[in-house]
Amino acid sequence: MREVTAVILENKQIAEEVYELTFCTEQSVPVLPGQFCMIGVGGMPLRRPIAVCKAEGERITVCYRLKGEGTHRLASEYKAGETLRVLLPLGNGFSLAKEQKRIAVVGGGVGIFPLISAIRTFRDKEIYAYMGFRNRGAVCMEYEMLRAKKLTIATDDGSVGYHGTAVQAFQEEMSRIKPQAVLACGPTPMLRALKQAVAGKGIPVYVSLEERMGCGIGACLVCTCQKTDGARARVCKDGPVFEINEVEI
Ligand SMILES: Cc1cc2nc3c(=O)[nH]c(=O)nc-3n(C[C@H](O)[C@H](O)[C@H](O)COP(=O)(O)OP(=O)(O)OC[C@H]3O[C@@H](n4cnc5c(N)ncnc54)[C@H](O)[C@@H]3O)c2cc1C
Ligand code: FES
């Protein structure tokens, strides 16, 4: 992990309330899929955790949805040529064994962004992607998701693709594609539905969790989650990726 001065190359809107930010670091930073960065916005005391979507040497891309003050200021105040202080790479990231070849990727909301990094990285795998959005206007980064062997876009209102959630779309095809692992990220209700869908099937499911964070480096304990063995884990340092049965969701 290091703190870098990032020079913004582009910060543009790509969907309703979603922005794609590309910046350049001084040196190439190796980033695993599922790892994230902490972006310092203005003089705000806490950096914002955002998943790395694409890492190409010194060029890093993240996508963020407007939420509160930090993300609104990031969208409105930061233009190409300006700088940001960024901590990266953070967290453990997704990893897959050699024998895990057929992989289902299930994402919803801002959870699709770390999964794009997984689709880009695990090129030797057969990837079936199920990506959920609110509606047509929220769909973005389709050209990246199309790297998967098969892509299913799901929308809550059916305005494009499958009418329903990404988990429902996955569940309909699960027995046919027989995934050897599932990678997932999304809101808690989505992860709960996924946990139910795979219960008793013996498929390892690796989920990336989203918790409020303070430091992002394991020091403040703001981000802890409950593990099923009774212990607590720091999402920023021990995660954000956990096997789904390892944590209380
Ligand atoms: C590992 C990880 C990866 C993430 N990746 C992405 C991503 O790729 N794209 C994206 O749009 N969002 C992502 N998020 C969520 C993102 O961090 C929050 O939306 C963002 O911090 C909100 O900041 P804000 O100032 O706009 O909102 P505010 O609500 O004003 O934030 C107040 C404080 O709460 C924290 N906070 C608020 N919501 C969240 C949240 N959902 N998760 C964590 N901290 C939160 C903020 O960091 C800040 O410290 C990720 C979160 C985590 C933990
Ligand atoms: S955010 Fe500080 S320990 Fe995780």
User: Does the domain at residues 102-208 carry the CATH identifier 3.40.50.80?
Assistant: yes
CA dihedral over 186, 176, 101, 57, signed as positive or negative: negative
Shortest-distance ligand to the CA of residue 65: 1
CA of 212 to the centre of ligand 1 (A): 7
What residue segments make up the domains of the chain, in order of their start?
2-90, 102-208
Please give the backbone phi and psi of residue 78, each rounded to the nearest 5 degrees, phi first: -110, 115
CA of 48 to the centre of ligand 1 (A): 6
Contacts of 27 (CB under 8 A, 6+ apart): 4, 58
Q: Which atom of ligand 2 is nearest to the CA of 223?
A: 4
pTM (whole model) above 0.85: yes
The rounded Cα 93 to chain-centroid distance in angstroms is 10
Give the residue whose CA is nearest to atom 4 of ligand 1: 50
Decide whether any atom of ligand 2 lies within 6 Å of the 222 Cβ.
yes
CA of 50 to the centre of ligand 1 (A): 7
Superfamily of structural domain 2-90: Translation factors (2.40.30.10)
CA dihedral over 188, 207, 47, 61, signed as positive or negative: negative
Per-residue pLDDT of the chain (249 residues; tens, 9 = 90+): 899 999 999 999 999 999 999 999 999 999 999 999 999 998 899 999 999 999 999 999 999 999 999 999 999 999 999 999 999 999 999 999 999 999 999 999 999 999 999 999 999 999 999 999 999 999 999 999 999 999 999 999 999 999 999 999 999 999 999 999 999 999 999 999 999 999 999 999 999 999 999 999 999 999 999 999 999 999 999 999 999 999 999
